[in-house]
Structure 1
Amino acid sequence: MITMEHVCKSYKIAKRDAGIKAALKSLFYREYESIHALNDVTFTIGDGEMVGYIGPNGAGKSSTIKILSGILTPDSGTVLVNGRIPYKDRIRHVRDIGVVFGQRSQLWWDVPVIDSFELLKDIYTIPEPQYRQSLEELTELLNLKELLRSPTRQLSLGQRMRCEIAASLLHRPRILFLDEPTIGLDAVSKLAVRNFIIRQNNIHKTTVILTTHDMQDIEALASRIILIGKGQVLLDGTLDDIRKGGSNIDETVAKLYRTYEI
Protein backbone atom coordinates (compact mmCIF):
# COMPACT_ATOMS: atom_id res chain seq x y z
CA MET A 1 0.00 0.00 0.00
CA ILE A 2 1.28 3.46 -0.97
CA THR A 3 -0.12 6.59 0.66
CA MET A 4 0.80 10.24 0.13
CA GLU A 5 -1.13 12.84 2.13
CA HIS A 6 -0.73 16.61 1.66
CA VAL A 7 2.87 16.25 0.48
CA CYS A 8 4.76 19.43 -0.45
CA LYS A 9 8.28 19.79 -1.83
CA SER A 10 10.12 22.94 -2.88
CA TYR A 11 13.56 23.65 -4.31
CA LYS A 12 15.71 26.75 -4.27
CA ILE A 13 17.34 27.52 -7.62
CA ALA A 14 20.08 30.11 -8.05
CA LYS A 15 19.38 32.74 -10.73
CA ARG A 16 21.66 35.28 -12.39
CA ASP A 17 21.79 37.39 -15.53
CA ALA A 18 24.18 36.72 -18.41
CA GLY A 19 27.62 38.32 -18.58
CA ILE A 20 30.86 38.57 -16.63
CA LYS A 21 29.55 41.37 -14.42
CA ALA A 22 26.62 39.25 -13.25
CA ALA A 23 28.92 36.24 -12.76
CA LEU A 24 31.25 38.27 -10.50
CA LYS A 25 28.29 39.67 -8.57
CA SER A 26 26.98 36.14 -7.97
CA LEU A 27 30.22 35.27 -6.15
CA PHE A 28 29.21 37.62 -3.32
CA TYR A 29 25.44 37.78 -3.61
CA ARG A 30 23.14 35.14 -5.02
CA GLU A 31 19.51 35.45 -5.90
CA TYR A 32 17.31 32.40 -5.45
CA GLU A 33 13.93 31.42 -6.78
CA SER A 34 11.67 28.92 -5.00
CA ILE A 35 10.17 26.22 -7.21
CA HIS A 36 7.17 24.35 -5.80
CA ALA A 37 7.66 20.86 -7.25
CA LEU A 38 4.79 19.32 -5.24
CA ASN A 39 1.91 21.20 -3.67
CA ASP A 40 -0.50 19.28 -1.40
CA VAL A 41 -0.24 15.98 -3.31
CA THR A 42 -2.56 13.26 -1.98
CA PHE A 43 -3.28 9.80 -3.37
CA THR A 44 -3.42 6.12 -2.39
CA ILE A 45 -2.29 3.13 -4.47
CA GLY A 46 -3.32 -0.39 -3.48
CA ASP A 47 -1.27 -3.58 -3.63
CA GLY A 48 -1.00 -5.01 -7.14
CA GLU A 49 -2.28 -1.88 -8.92
CA MET A 50 -0.70 -0.65 -12.16
CA VAL A 51 -0.92 3.13 -12.19
CA GLY A 52 0.12 5.61 -14.87
CA TYR A 53 1.51 8.79 -13.30
CA ILE A 54 1.49 11.34 -16.10
CA GLY A 55 2.04 15.03 -16.68
CA PRO A 56 4.22 17.42 -18.71
CA ASN A 57 7.91 18.06 -18.03
CA GLY A 58 8.38 19.82 -14.69
CA ALA A 59 4.99 18.69 -13.35
CA GLY A 60 6.47 16.91 -10.32
CA LYS A 61 6.53 13.27 -11.47
CA SER A 62 10.21 12.59 -10.76
CA SER A 63 10.05 14.38 -7.40
CA THR A 64 7.16 12.11 -6.41
CA ILE A 65 9.06 8.96 -7.42
CA LYS A 66 12.17 10.11 -5.55
CA ILE A 67 10.15 10.75 -2.38
CA LEU A 68 8.42 7.37 -2.64
CA SER A 69 11.75 5.61 -3.19
CA GLY A 70 13.35 7.40 -0.22
CA ILE A 71 15.81 9.55 -2.18
CA LEU A 72 14.14 12.85 -1.23
CA THR A 73 12.53 14.09 1.98
CA PRO A 74 9.31 16.13 1.59
CA ASP A 75 8.99 19.55 3.20
CA SER A 76 5.67 18.54 4.76
CA GLY A 77 3.00 15.87 4.55
CA THR A 78 2.89 12.13 5.21
CA VAL A 79 4.33 9.32 3.07
CA LEU A 80 3.88 5.62 3.83
CA VAL A 81 4.98 2.73 1.64
CA ASN A 82 4.21 -0.73 3.01
CA GLY A 83 3.82 0.81 6.45
CA ARG A 84 7.23 2.52 6.35
CA ILE A 85 8.35 6.12 5.91
CA PRO A 86 10.73 5.71 2.94
CA TYR A 87 13.28 8.42 3.78
CA LYS A 88 13.49 7.37 7.47
CA ASP A 89 13.88 3.62 6.96
CA ARG A 90 15.76 3.47 3.67
CA ILE A 91 17.70 0.24 4.21
CA ARG A 92 14.59 -1.88 4.81
CA HIS A 93 12.57 0.14 2.31
CA VAL A 94 14.85 -0.52 -0.68
CA ARG A 95 14.42 -4.27 -0.20
CA ASP A 96 10.76 -3.87 -1.17
CA ILE A 97 11.17 -1.61 -4.21
CA GLY A 98 12.70 -1.74 -7.67
CA VAL A 99 13.43 1.39 -9.71
CA VAL A 100 14.08 1.72 -13.44
CA PHE A 101 15.08 5.12 -14.83
CA GLY A 102 15.09 5.07 -18.63
CA GLN A 103 17.88 7.63 -18.87
CA ARG A 104 20.03 6.36 -15.98
CA SER A 105 21.76 3.04 -15.42
CA GLN A 106 22.31 0.92 -12.33
CA LEU A 107 24.58 -1.44 -14.26
CA TRP A 108 28.35 -0.97 -14.18
CA TRP A 109 29.41 0.29 -17.60
CA ASP A 110 32.63 -1.62 -18.27
CA VAL A 111 31.94 -5.01 -16.73
CA PRO A 112 29.76 -7.90 -17.97
CA VAL A 113 26.10 -7.66 -17.01
CA ILE A 114 26.32 -10.81 -14.90
CA ASP A 115 28.97 -9.13 -12.71
CA SER A 116 26.57 -6.25 -12.05
CA PHE A 117 23.89 -8.79 -11.12
CA GLU A 118 26.27 -10.55 -8.71
CA LEU A 119 27.13 -7.24 -7.06
CA LEU A 120 23.44 -6.37 -6.69
CA LYS A 121 22.92 -9.77 -5.08
CA ASP A 122 25.46 -8.80 -2.41
CA ILE A 123 24.03 -5.29 -1.99
CA TYR A 124 20.52 -6.63 -1.39
CA THR A 125 21.85 -9.69 0.49
CA ILE A 126 19.73 -11.99 -1.67
CA PRO A 127 19.96 -15.65 -0.56
CA GLU A 128 21.78 -17.76 -3.13
CA PRO A 129 18.84 -20.09 -3.95
CA GLN A 130 16.47 -17.12 -4.45
CA TYR A 131 19.05 -15.30 -6.57
CA ARG A 132 19.59 -18.32 -8.83
CA GLN A 133 15.85 -18.84 -9.24
CA SER A 134 15.22 -15.15 -10.02
CA LEU A 135 18.16 -15.01 -12.43
CA GLU A 136 16.96 -18.06 -14.36
CA GLU A 137 13.40 -16.76 -14.53
CA LEU A 138 14.39 -13.25 -15.65
CA THR A 139 16.98 -14.56 -18.13
CA GLU A 140 14.35 -16.70 -19.82
CA LEU A 141 11.50 -14.18 -19.79
CA LEU A 142 13.62 -11.24 -20.97
CA ASN A 143 15.82 -13.29 -23.32
CA LEU A 144 19.09 -12.29 -21.65
CA LYS A 145 21.17 -15.42 -22.13
CA GLU A 146 23.36 -13.95 -24.88
CA LEU A 147 23.75 -10.62 -23.06
CA LEU A 148 24.94 -11.64 -19.59
CA ARG A 149 28.61 -11.95 -20.54
CA SER A 150 28.73 -8.67 -22.49
CA PRO A 151 29.85 -5.34 -20.94
CA THR A 152 26.94 -2.93 -20.51
CA ARG A 153 28.59 -0.35 -22.80
CA GLN A 154 28.42 -2.79 -25.72
CA LEU A 155 24.65 -3.33 -25.48
CA SER A 156 22.06 -1.57 -27.58
CA LEU A 157 19.54 0.63 -25.76
CA GLY A 158 16.84 -2.05 -26.00
CA GLN A 159 19.18 -4.75 -24.70
CA ARG A 160 20.33 -2.53 -21.84
CA MET A 161 16.77 -1.71 -20.80
CA ARG A 162 15.91 -5.40 -20.57
CA CYS A 163 18.96 -5.89 -18.33
CA GLU A 164 18.00 -2.82 -16.24
CA ILE A 165 14.54 -4.27 -15.60
CA ALA A 166 16.05 -7.62 -14.63
CA ALA A 167 18.47 -5.86 -12.25
CA SER A 168 15.55 -4.10 -10.55
CA LEU A 169 13.66 -7.36 -10.04
CA LEU A 170 16.41 -9.71 -8.84
CA HIS A 171 15.47 -9.15 -5.18
CA ARG A 172 11.73 -9.65 -5.96
CA PRO A 173 10.45 -6.22 -4.92
CA ARG A 174 6.78 -5.71 -4.10
CA ILE A 175 6.75 -2.31 -5.84
CA LEU A 176 8.28 -1.34 -9.18
CA PHE A 177 8.83 2.30 -10.14
CA LEU A 178 9.25 2.75 -13.88
CA ASP A 179 10.40 6.17 -15.13
CA GLU A 180 10.31 6.25 -18.96
CA PRO A 181 11.18 2.52 -19.25
CA THR A 182 10.67 2.36 -23.05
CA ILE A 183 12.28 5.67 -24.03
CA GLY A 184 14.22 5.30 -27.28
CA LEU A 185 13.21 1.66 -27.81
CA ASP A 186 12.06 0.23 -31.13
CA ALA A 187 8.55 -1.19 -31.52
CA VAL A 188 9.62 -4.82 -30.91
CA SER A 189 11.56 -3.96 -27.74
CA LYS A 190 8.66 -1.86 -26.43
CA LEU A 191 6.26 -4.77 -26.87
CA ALA A 192 8.66 -7.14 -25.11
CA VAL A 193 9.07 -4.80 -22.13
CA ARG A 194 5.31 -4.15 -21.86
CA ASN A 195 4.46 -7.86 -22.03
CA PHE A 196 7.03 -8.66 -19.35
CA ILE A 197 5.68 -5.98 -16.98
CA ILE A 198 2.13 -7.31 -17.42
CA ARG A 199 3.34 -10.85 -16.75
CA GLN A 200 5.24 -9.72 -13.65
CA ASN A 201 2.10 -8.06 -12.31
CA ASN A 202 -0.06 -11.10 -13.05
CA ILE A 203 2.30 -13.68 -11.54
CA HIS A 204 3.86 -11.83 -8.61
CA LYS A 205 1.16 -9.16 -8.04
CA THR A 206 3.86 -6.49 -8.27
CA THR A 207 2.58 -2.95 -7.78
CA VAL A 208 3.69 -0.81 -10.74
CA ILE A 209 3.90 2.99 -10.90
CA LEU A 210 4.70 4.12 -14.43
CA THR A 211 5.75 7.63 -15.43
CA THR A 212 6.04 8.20 -19.16
CA HIS A 213 5.21 10.52 -22.04
CA ASP A 214 4.40 7.52 -24.24
CA MET A 215 0.62 7.18 -24.05
CA GLN A 216 0.79 3.76 -25.72
CA ASP A 217 2.69 2.53 -22.63
CA ILE A 218 -0.09 3.93 -20.46
CA GLU A 219 -2.80 2.36 -22.60
CA ALA A 220 -1.07 -1.04 -22.60
CA LEU A 221 -0.14 -1.19 -18.92
CA ALA A 222 -2.19 1.09 -16.68
CA SER A 223 -5.80 0.70 -15.59
CA ARG A 224 -5.67 3.88 -13.53
CA ILE A 225 -4.29 7.33 -14.34
CA ILE A 226 -3.09 10.06 -12.01
CA LEU A 227 -2.56 13.37 -13.84
CA ILE A 228 -0.23 15.86 -12.18
CA GLY A 229 0.45 19.43 -13.27
CA LYS A 230 2.26 22.33 -11.60
CA GLY A 231 2.87 20.10 -8.59
CA GLN A 232 -0.80 19.27 -7.99
CA VAL A 233 -2.92 16.18 -8.65
CA LEU A 234 -5.48 17.33 -11.21
CA LEU A 235 -7.18 14.06 -12.10
CA ASP A 236 -7.32 10.56 -10.65
CA GLY A 237 -9.43 7.99 -12.46
CA THR A 238 -9.57 4.92 -14.65
CA LEU A 239 -8.39 4.75 -18.23
CA ASP A 240 -12.04 4.64 -19.31
CA ASP A 241 -12.64 7.92 -17.47
CA ILE A 242 -9.79 9.50 -19.40
CA ARG A 243 -11.11 8.14 -22.69
CA LYS A 244 -14.44 9.92 -22.26
CA GLY A 245 -12.80 12.99 -23.74
CA GLY A 246 -12.10 11.17 -27.02
CA SER A 247 -11.16 7.84 -28.54
CA ASN A 248 -7.47 8.64 -29.14
CA ILE A 249 -5.52 8.54 -25.88
CA ASP A 250 -2.83 10.99 -27.11
CA GLU A 251 -5.42 13.55 -28.21
CA THR A 252 -7.38 13.09 -24.98
CA VAL A 253 -4.34 13.68 -22.77
CA ALA A 254 -3.28 16.69 -24.85
CA LYS A 255 -6.80 18.10 -24.39
CA LEU A 256 -6.50 17.57 -20.61
CA TYR A 257 -3.20 19.48 -20.59
CA ARG A 258 -4.88 22.39 -22.37
CA THR A 259 -7.92 22.24 -20.06
CA TYR A 260 -5.78 22.52 -16.94
CA GLU A 261 -3.37 24.95 -18.64
CA ILE A 262 -0.29 22.84 -17.92
Structure 2
Amino acid sequence: MILDEPTIGLDVLSKQRLREFLIAERRERGTTLLLTTHDMGDIERLCERVLVVDHGRLAYDGTLGGLSTAVGAERVLTVDLDRPEPGLPTPPGTRAVGVQAGGLRHVFAFDTTGVTVGAVLADIARHAEIRDLTIAEPDIEDVVRRLYRSHRRP
Protein backbone atom coordinates (compact mmCIF):
# COMPACT_ATOMS: atom_id res chain seq x y z
CA MET A 1 0.00 0.00 0.00
CA ILE A 2 1.51 3.34 -1.03
CA LEU A 3 0.53 6.35 1.11
CA ASP A 4 1.62 9.93 0.53
CA GLU A 5 1.17 12.14 3.62
CA PRO A 6 -1.81 10.01 4.77
CA THR A 7 -2.64 12.00 7.91
CA ILE A 8 -2.09 15.54 6.64
CA GLY A 9 -5.02 17.75 7.52
CA LEU A 10 -6.67 15.20 9.80
CA ASP A 11 -7.77 15.99 13.34
CA VAL A 12 -6.14 14.13 16.24
CA LEU A 13 -8.84 11.47 16.55
CA SER A 14 -8.94 10.76 12.81
CA LYS A 15 -5.12 10.46 12.75
CA GLN A 16 -5.27 7.94 15.58
CA ARG A 17 -7.97 5.89 13.89
CA LEU A 18 -6.14 5.84 10.55
CA ARG A 19 -2.88 4.82 12.22
CA GLU A 20 -4.66 2.03 14.13
CA PHE A 21 -6.26 0.81 10.89
CA LEU A 22 -2.91 0.76 9.09
CA ILE A 23 -1.22 -1.12 11.94
CA ALA A 24 -4.04 -3.69 11.99
CA GLU A 25 -3.94 -4.02 8.19
CA ARG A 26 -0.21 -4.66 8.26
CA ARG A 27 -0.50 -7.19 11.11
CA GLU A 28 -3.55 -9.11 9.79
CA ARG A 29 -2.72 -9.21 6.08
CA GLY A 30 1.04 -8.77 6.03
CA THR A 31 0.60 -5.60 4.03
CA THR A 32 3.69 -3.57 3.30
CA LEU A 33 3.23 0.16 3.75
CA LEU A 34 5.28 2.56 1.67
CA LEU A 35 4.83 5.83 3.47
CA THR A 36 6.08 9.22 2.35
CA THR A 37 5.59 11.81 5.04
CA HIS A 38 6.99 14.70 7.00
CA ASP A 39 4.78 13.80 9.99
CA MET A 40 7.19 12.41 12.54
CA GLY A 41 4.29 10.98 14.55
CA ASP A 42 3.38 8.79 11.57
CA ILE A 43 6.97 7.62 11.26
CA GLU A 44 7.31 6.81 14.97
CA ARG A 45 4.04 4.89 15.11
CA LEU A 46 3.94 3.15 11.73
CA CYS A 47 7.47 2.46 10.53
CA GLU A 48 9.90 -0.32 11.34
CA ARG A 49 12.31 0.58 8.55
CA VAL A 50 13.13 4.17 7.68
CA LEU A 51 14.67 5.52 4.50
CA VAL A 52 15.66 9.17 4.44
CA VAL A 53 16.16 10.72 1.02
CA ASP A 54 18.01 14.01 0.64
CA HIS A 55 17.91 15.66 -2.78
CA GLY A 56 17.31 12.34 -4.52
CA ARG A 57 20.09 10.49 -2.69
CA LEU A 58 19.62 7.89 0.02
CA ALA A 59 20.94 9.42 3.24
CA TYR A 60 19.86 6.65 5.61
CA ASP A 61 18.36 3.14 5.49
CA GLY A 62 17.67 1.35 8.77
CA THR A 63 15.61 1.40 11.93
CA LEU A 64 14.27 4.53 13.58
CA GLY A 65 16.41 3.82 16.67
CA GLY A 66 19.46 3.34 14.47
CA LEU A 67 18.85 6.74 12.91
CA SER A 68 19.54 8.42 16.26
CA THR A 69 22.72 6.40 16.66
CA ALA A 70 23.86 7.21 13.12
CA VAL A 71 23.96 10.94 13.85
CA GLY A 72 25.24 10.62 17.41
CA ALA A 73 22.04 11.83 19.06
CA GLU A 74 21.96 11.36 22.81
CA ARG A 75 19.37 10.49 25.43
CA VAL A 76 19.00 13.00 28.24
CA LEU A 77 18.67 11.80 31.83
CA THR A 78 17.37 14.23 34.43
CA VAL A 79 17.65 13.10 38.05
CA ASP A 80 16.13 14.83 41.04
CA LEU A 81 17.95 14.05 44.26
CA ASP A 82 16.66 13.77 47.80
CA ARG A 83 19.25 16.32 49.01
CA PRO A 84 21.38 18.86 47.13
CA GLU A 85 24.63 17.40 45.79
CA PRO A 86 26.30 20.22 43.81
CA GLY A 87 29.51 18.20 43.44
CA LEU A 88 27.91 15.00 42.14
CA PRO A 89 30.48 13.23 39.92
CA THR A 90 29.61 12.75 36.25
CA PRO A 91 28.89 9.05 35.66
CA PRO A 92 31.24 7.27 33.22
CA GLY A 93 29.95 7.34 29.65
CA THR A 94 27.86 10.47 30.19
CA ARG A 95 28.26 14.18 29.65
CA ALA A 96 27.12 16.63 32.34
CA VAL A 97 24.60 19.02 30.81
CA GLY A 98 23.69 21.06 33.87
CA VAL A 99 22.97 21.35 37.56
CA GLN A 100 19.84 23.13 38.77
CA ALA A 101 18.18 24.09 42.04
CA GLY A 102 21.44 24.24 43.95
CA GLY A 103 22.32 20.62 43.16
CA LEU A 104 18.91 19.02 43.60
CA ARG A 105 18.57 18.37 39.85
CA HIS A 106 21.31 17.04 37.57
CA VAL A 107 21.08 16.56 33.81
CA PHE A 108 23.30 14.14 31.87
CA ALA A 109 23.45 13.23 28.18
CA PHE A 110 24.64 9.86 26.91
CA ASP A 111 24.70 7.55 23.92
CA THR A 112 23.11 4.18 24.72
CA THR A 113 25.67 2.35 22.61
CA GLY A 114 28.32 3.28 25.18
CA VAL A 115 26.49 2.95 28.49
CA THR A 116 23.18 1.65 29.83
CA VAL A 117 20.65 3.65 31.79
CA GLY A 118 20.99 1.12 34.61
CA ALA A 119 24.76 1.67 34.85
CA VAL A 120 24.31 5.45 34.93
CA LEU A 121 21.65 5.25 37.63
CA ALA A 122 23.70 2.80 39.69
CA ASP A 123 26.66 5.17 39.59
CA ILE A 124 24.54 8.14 40.66
CA ALA A 125 22.90 6.06 43.44
CA ARG A 126 26.35 5.33 44.89
CA HIS A 127 26.74 9.06 45.55
CA ALA A 128 23.21 10.29 46.26
CA GLU A 129 19.62 9.24 46.91
CA ILE A 130 17.55 9.54 43.70
CA ARG A 131 14.09 10.97 44.29
CA ASP A 132 12.81 11.03 40.69
CA LEU A 133 14.06 10.81 37.11
CA THR A 134 13.09 11.37 33.51
CA ILE A 135 14.68 10.08 30.34
CA ALA A 136 14.17 12.00 27.11
CA GLU A 137 14.75 10.27 23.81
CA PRO A 138 16.35 12.30 21.03
CA ASP A 139 13.80 14.43 19.20
CA ILE A 140 13.22 12.72 15.84
CA GLU A 141 12.95 15.99 13.94
CA ASP A 142 16.30 17.11 15.35
CA VAL A 143 17.80 13.75 14.39
CA VAL A 144 16.61 14.09 10.78
CA ARG A 145 17.90 17.69 10.64
CA ARG A 146 21.30 16.50 11.84
CA LEU A 147 21.31 13.74 9.24
CA TYR A 148 20.58 16.22 6.43
CA ARG A 149 23.35 18.54 7.66
CA SER A 150 25.89 15.70 7.84
CA HIS A 151 24.85 14.28 4.46
CA ARG A 152 25.14 17.50 2.48
CA ARG A 153 28.46 18.44 1.04
CA PRO A 154 29.75 21.99 1.70
TM range, smaller chain: 0.5 to 0.7
Aligned match of 1:210 in 20, 23, 35?
A: 35
TM-score, normalized by length of structure 1?
A: 0.32
Q: 1 CA distance for matches of 2:50 and 2:24?
A: 20
Residue 38 of structure 1 corresponds to none
User: 1:230, CA displacement in angstroms?
Assistant: 1.6
Identity, in percent, stands at 43
> Are 1:181 and 2:14 an aligned pair?
no
DSSP 3-state at the match of 2:62: strand
DSSP 3-state at the match of 2:152: coil
Residue 222 of structure 1 corresponds to 47
Amino acid in structure 1 at the alignment position of 2:149:
R
Q: 1 CA distance for matches of 2:152 and 2:10?
A: 30
Amino acid in structure 1 at the alignment position of 2:144:
V
Aligned match of 1:197 in 15, 22, 26?
A: 22
Q: 1 CA distance for matches of 2:19 and 2:68?
A: 21
Point out the structure with the larger helix share.
1
Q: 1 CA distance for matches of 2:55 and 2:67?
A: 19
Q: Counterparts in 2 of 1:23-42, with a 5 A limit?
A: none
Residue 249 of structure 1 corresponds to 140
Q: 2 CA distance for matches of 1:180 and 1:223?
A: 17
Q: 1 CA distance for matches of 2:30 and 2:16?
A: 20
Query: Unpaired segments of 5 or more residues in structure 2?
Result: 75-137
After the TM superposition, which of the residue ranges 215-224 and 227-236 deviates more from structure 2?
227-236
Structural RMSD (CA):
1.4
User: Does structure 1 retain, via aligned residues, the 8 Å contact 2:5–2:35?
Assistant: yes
TM-score, normalized by length of structure 2?
A: 0.53
DSSP 3-state at the match of 2:58: strand
Equivalenced residue count is 87
Query: Unpaired segments of 5 or more residues in structure 1?
Result: 1-175
Q: 2 CA distance for matches of 1:207 and 1:184?
A: 23
Runs of 4+ in 1 over 3 A off after TM superposition: none
Q: Deviations over 1:14-34 (max 9, x none)?
A: xxxxxxxxxxxxxxxxxxxxx
Q: Structure with the greater relative contact order (CA < 8 A, sep ≥ 6): 1 or 2?
A: 1
